[in-house]
Structure 1
Amino acid sequence: MTNSNALYIVATPIGNLGDITLRAIETLKTADIIAAEDTRHSAKLLQYYGIDTPLTPYHDHSNDTQTQRLLDKLQEGRSIALISDAGTPLISDPGFRLVVLAREQKIRVVPIPGACAVVTALSAAGLPSDRFSFEGFLPAKNAGRRARLELVVTDPRTLIFYESPHRIQDSLADMAAIFGQDRQAVLAREITKTYETFLSGDFAQLQQVLSEDANQLRGEMVVMVHGYSEPLADPERLEPDVETMLRVLLDELPLKQAAAIAAKLSGEKKNKLYKWAVDNKGATEK
C-alpha cells in the first residue's frame, strides 16, 4: 500500500494494457490523487482496472500554481501518484519540476517501475546494449536537428531517439547525412501494440521501406543507431612522417638499404617499408 506524504512516480503501459505491474495497480488504487498528463487518456486505463482514485491534470505546461497545489497536498500528508500518457514519467514526459521541488521540500519520492519505451525497444533491437545514450526527441527544425546529431556523430554508444510519424522521414534523412548512409539502425514502431514492427538495416534501406509502405509512417517510434566505430586501419599505410623519410632515403640509397634504415629510425617493419617502396615508388633493387 502507499505511504502518506509521498509522491509516487508510476510507470504505465506504453501500448498493451496488460503491461502494468501489480504494484502500480495497487499504488493507483490507494493514492489520494492521481496527477496525469492527460486525464481523458488516463481515464481509460483506470476504468479498465476499476480504479476510481480522483484525477487531476499535470503536464509540462502546468503553471507554478498547479505545481504548488500538488506540493501543498503532499505536505498535508496526502499521497499522489504521478503518471504520464504512457511509460515512465520524466523519461521525455512531464514531472521533472514536481520531483525536484518535492525532494527539495524533503517529501519522499518513490519510483514504481514498469514499462519504458527506451528499454523495451533496445531489448529487441539486436544492437549493442551494454552502453547506450538516450537522446529523447530531436529538434523539429532541420538546422537544430542536424546540430544535435553532429554532437553525437562519434559517440561509440548505441544512440536512442524518440520520433513522431510526421517527422520520421526528415529525421532519417538527416541521420543518413550526418552519420553516413551505411550506419546500421533499427526503427521500432507501435511497440507492444497490434502492429508492432522492428525494421533494421542501414539508413538507405530504412528510408526505402518507409517510402514504399505508408503504413510504416504510423504510430510512435523509437530510432536506435549503432554507435560510431573507428574505421579499420590500413595495414599497408605509413604515417606521413615515415613516408617522407623513406622517400628521402630512396633518393639516395638502394631500396633494401633505405628500407632497413627507415625501419630502425621509425620502428616500422622492414618488410612493410620495402613493400610500400615497391608499390608506391616503382623502386627496383640497385
Structure 2
Amino acid sequence: MSDIKGVLYLIPTTLGDSEPLEVLPLSVRKVIEEVDHFIVENEKTARRFIKRITPKKSQPSLTIYKLDKYADEFEVKTYLDVCEKGISVGLISEAGVPAIADPGAEIVKLAHEKEIKVVPLVGPSSIILAMMASGFNGQNFTFNGYLPIETNERKKVIKSLEKLSKEKNQSQIFIETPYRNEKMFADLKSTLTPTAKLCIACDITLQNEYIKTMEIKDWKHQQPDLHKRPTIFIIHKD
C-alpha cells in the first residue's frame, strides 16, 4: 500500500449544453486527463462530458462508481478505498459544482473522515451566479433547497422567508423541479407582498439565459417561459 494517499478532486461540469472550456478553466481538463476513477450520478452523461473535454482519453480505461438513489450505502463507503493506494478520484456533478445541492457531499464527508485531501476545482455554480446577478445582499444569503410541494404549506414557507429576509436583510435562495417552475412563480406572485423583490435566474451560462429582478407588483404583469428550464429563485424584502 502506498504511503501517499490519492486525492479527491471535486470536478464541476457545465450547467447545460455549452462548450466545456467556455465556462470551465483548463485546470479541469488537466485533472480529467490525469484521473481514471470517477464517482458520478449518471454514467452515460459523465462519460459524455469526459469525452467532450478530453476527446483522446480512453473510455474503456475508466472506472466509474455510481452515486445515484439506487447506490448501496455500504458500497459507497468503499468508493475512496483506492485513494489508500495512491490513486486519485474525481467526483463529477450532474450539473455545476459537486456537493452543492448535490449528493456528492456524502463523498466529501467520507474523504475528510478518511483524511483524504479534498481539492475543489473552479466551475459554474448556478446558485452563486444567480446571487451575483440578482442585485441583492451578497453579504448575507441562505440557500433553502426545495420548498414544500403542497400549495398551502409552500405559501407558509414563502411568507416566512419573506419575513426572515426583512428581519435579517438576508437574501433567500431556493429552487424547484423545472416542470413545476410556473406553479412556483404563480405562488410567489400571489403570496409575496407587492414591494418584495424577486430575482428569477434561468438557464444560467446558456445562450437563452434569462436573469431579471423586479418587485412583485411588476412581476404580476410578466410571464417568462420557465417550463422545464433550470431556474433559481431569490426573494428579498427591504
Instruction: Give the TM-score normalised by structure 2.
Output: 0.82
Match of 1:33 in 2: 37
Residue 193 of structure 1 aligns to a residue whose secondary structure is coil
Q: Compute the displacement of 1:84 (Å).
A: 0.9
1:199 to 2:203 alignment: no
Kept in 1, the 8 Å contact 2:181–2:226? The answer is no
Match of 2:13 in 1: 12
The higher-RCO structure (CA 8 Å, 6+ apart) is 2
| Candidates 159, 164, 179, aligned match of 2:192 | 179
CA distance in 2, matches of 1:188, 1:217: 13
Structure 1 or 2, whichever has the larger Rg, is: 1
Match of 1:170 in 2: 183
Which residues in structure 2 correspond to 1:97-136 (within 5 Å)? 97-136=106-145
User: What amino acid is aligned across from residue 161 of structure 1 in structure 2?
Assistant: F
User: What amino acid is aligned across from residue 46 of structure 1 in structure 2?
Assistant: I
Kept in 2, the 8 Å contact 1:172–1:203? The answer is no
Kept in 2, the 8 Å contact 1:172–1:207? The answer is no
CA distance in 1, matches of 2:214, 2:35: 45
Q: Compute the displacement of 1:26 (Å).
A: 1.2
Decide whether aligned partners of structure 1 residues 190 and 108 sit closer, same or farther in structure 2, where only a CA change above 3 A counts. same
Structure 1: runs of 5+ lacking an equivalent: 230-286
CA distance in 1, matches of 2:114, 2:130: 35
Kept in 2, the 8 Å contact 1:88–1:116? The answer is yes
CA distance in 2, matches of 1:204, 1:168: 19
CA distance in 2, matches of 1:33, 1:147: 45
Match of 1:73 in 2: 82
Q: Compute the displacement of 1:127 (Å).
A: 2.5
Kept in 2, the 8 Å contact 1:199–1:206? The answer is no
Kept in 2, the 8 Å contact 1:140–1:167? The answer is no
Match of 2:65 in 1: 56
User: What amino acid is aligned across from residue 77 of structure 2 in structure 1?
Assistant: Q
Kept in 2, the 8 Å contact 1:169–1:207? The answer is no
User: What amino acid is aligned across from residue 225 of structure 1 in structure 2?
Assistant: I
Residue 9 of structure 1 aligns to a residue whose secondary structure is strand
Match of 2:231 in 1: 221
Q: Compute the displacement of 1:142 (Å).
A: 2.2
Deviations for 1:193-248, whole angstroms, at most 9, x for unmatched residues?
121112332235435422xx5x442410011212x33xxxxxxxxxxxxxxxxxxx
Deviations for 1:70-104, whole angstroms, at most 9, x for unmatched residues?
03222233211001111111111111222212211
Higher helix share: 1
CA distance in 1, matches of 2:83, 2:220: 49
Q: Compute the displacement of 1:146 (Å).
A: 3.1
Which residues in structure 2 correspond to 1:239-278 (within 5 Å)? none
Kept in 2, the 8 Å contact 1:58–1:66? The answer is no
Match of 2:158 in 1: 149
CA distance in 1, matches of 2:219, 2:202: 12
Residue 152 of structure 1 aligns to a residue whose secondary structure is helix
Provide the identity percentage.
23
CA distance in 1, matches of 2:191, 2:41: 34
Moved over 4 A (4+): none
**What count of residue pairs does the alignment treat as equivalent?**
223
CA distance in 2, matches of 1:133, 1:86: 20
Q: Compute the displacement of 1:158 (Å).
A: 1.4
CA distance in 2, matches of 1:107, 1:219: 37
Residue 70 of structure 1 aligns to a residue whose secondary structure is coil
Match of 1:281 in 2: none
Q: Compute the displacement of 1:30 (Å).
A: 0.9
Instruction: Give the TM-score normalised by structure 1.
Output: 0.70
